[in-house]
Amino acid sequence: MVESKRDIEQIHVSVLPNEVLGYLQPKPEGVYMDGTLGLGGHTKMILEASSPTGRVVGFEWDENAISRSRVRLAEYGERLTIVRRNFAEIAAGLAEAGVEQLDGLLIDIGLSSLQLDMGERGFSFQREEPLDMRMDSRREVTAASILATASADELADIFYYYGEERQARRIAAEVVKHRQKHELATSTQLASLVARAVPKRFHPQKIHVATKVFQALRIAVNTELENLAKILDEAPAYLKPGARFCVISFHSLEDRMVKRKFRQSQELEVLTSKPVAATPEEVDVNPRSRSARLRVAQKR
């Protein structure tokens, strides 16, 4: 059942709203891409700021998010085009939408409240959910299938490189030991396993001990770093001179990649020497904005 527009707006609050609009500078007649439509929070702001004639192409591969954003953004009619693709498929998606060049581009590469709180796909260890973690249900690989088939070395690499988890080998060994007798199929099972595998003295104080493992599996299942690298390489070709490219990331792996790619690009001028963070006031209202970092570059 799809909620009402008001219900949807209460599910998820977009991060860094003022900062995004300040850098993106949406204008009437402009064509913008929101590479991570989600529940449409940023897209709604862009459509409002570019009223009455600005247009947004929203990329989203989560069908649940698409159904809800259609309800939330129905009033904008043909000013919004939604394509069910990951932002890495920028060429095919823009071609579908009949767009050749963009006046601005935004990607927000964090989980939405919908996925954390309502997705029932194992993104969170707060509830008993299947270890799925696919953003797009059409993909074949799930977190459970990786845990069931990857070798100890492969699992350790995933946990270490994608999650920056220092106890990666201990956790990987425990996964392999566990699966010899029992299926590892739910989020709470995995969280409990990680808590057992990591000695108490290494449990972090501010986050759950399994946080980095869950992050790593989500990144692996959805090939998130590969997708980010692809759009960072390909997007400048679709930007008009002066168009802004805004990227919001939520952990250091992504932020370092954005920083490096922006600086190396011959087509982009970096506008943010340091990442822009949420204000204390925003963090008070929306705690999930605490780790958000915005970097912006402009097409030369």
User: Mind listing the pLDDT tens digit for each residue in 130-152?
Assistant: 999 999 999 999 999 999 999 99
- Which CATH number do you get for residue 203? 1.10.150.170
Domain end call among 174, 203, 221: 221
**Tokens standing for 33?**
């891409």
Domain end call among 221, 252, 276: 221
Do 107 and 244 lie in one domain? The reply is yes
Band the pLDDT of 118: cuts 50, 70, 90: low
- For CA atoms 288, 289, 293, 297, give the dihedral sign: positive
Do 177 and 211 lie in one domain? The reply is yes
**Tokens standing for 136?**
């797009």
Pick from 60, 45, 71, 59: nearest CA to 99:
59
Report the chain's mean pLDDT, rounded to a whole number. 93
Do 110 and 231 lie in one domain? The reply is yes
Residue 1: the pLDDT is: 45
Write out the residue range of the structural domain in which residue 105 sits. 5-114+224-299
The verdict on residue 126 lying in a domain is no
Do 78 and 22 lie in one domain? The reply is yes
Residue 248 neighbours by CB under 8 Å, 6+ apart: 15, 16, 20, 106, 107, 108, 109, 110, 292, 293, 294
Residue 114: the pLDDT is: 56
Domain end call among 174, 192, 221: 221
- Tens-digit pLDDT profile for residues 149-194: 999 999 999 999 999 999 999 999 999 999 999 999 999 999 999 9
Residue 111: the pLDDT is: 73
* Stretch 195-220: mean pLDDT: 96
Do 86 and 13 lie in one domain? The reply is yes
The verdict on residue 134 lying in a domain is no
Instruction: Give the span between the Cα atoms of 283 and 290, in whole angstroms.
Output: 6
The verdict on residue 74 lying in a domain is yes
The verdict on residue 78 lying in a domain is yes
The verdict on residue 123 lying in a domain is no
> Are 163 and 185 contacting, i.e. CB atoms less than 8 angstroms apart?
no
- Which CATH number do you get for residue 270? 3.40.50.150
**Tokens standing for 233?**
């390489």
- Tens-digit pLDDT profile for residues 251-294: 899 999 999 999 999 999 999 999 999 999 999 999 989 999 99
Do 93 and 236 lie in one domain? The reply is yes
User: Which of the 8 DSSP states describes residue 181?
Assistant: T
Query: What three-state secondary structure class fits 82?
Result: strand
Do 150 and 215 lie in one domain? The reply is yes
The verdict on residue 120 lying in a domain is no
Q: Which whole-number Å values give the CA distances from 136 to 40, 153, 228, 288, in the listed order?
A: 17, 27, 16, 23
* Stretch 101-123: mean pLDDT: 78
Residue 121: the pLDDT is: 79
Residue 123: the pLDDT is: 87
The verdict on residue 295 lying in a domain is yes
Residue 11: the pLDDT is: 58
pLDDT at 110 over 90: no
Do 193 and 242 lie in one domain? The reply is no
Do 228 and 110 lie in one domain? The reply is yes
Q: Who has greater pLDDT, 195 or 111?
A: 195
Do 216 and 228 lie in one domain? The reply is no
Q: Is residue 144 classed exposed, middle or buried when 0-12, 13-18 and 19+ CB atoms within 10 A define those classes?
A: buried
**Which amino acid is located at 228 in the chain?**
L
> Are 40 and 13 contacting, i.e. CB atoms less than 8 angstroms apart?
no
pLDDT at 66 over 80: yes
Do 275 and 259 lie in one domain? The reply is yes
The verdict on residue 130 lying in a domain is no
Residue 231 CB neighbour total at 10 angstroms: 24
Pick from 273, 261, 126: nearest CA to 190:
126
Gyration radius of the chain's alpha carbons: 20
Residue recorded with tokens 């506008």: 271
> Are 54 and 276 contacting, i.e. CB atoms less than 8 angstroms apart?
no
Residue 125: the pLDDT is: 84
Number of domains in the chain: 2
pLDDT at 119 over 80: no
Instruction: Give the span between the Cα atoms of 12 and 37, in whole angstroms.
Output: 12
Do 110 and 175 lie in one domain? The reply is no
Residue 122: the pLDDT is: 84
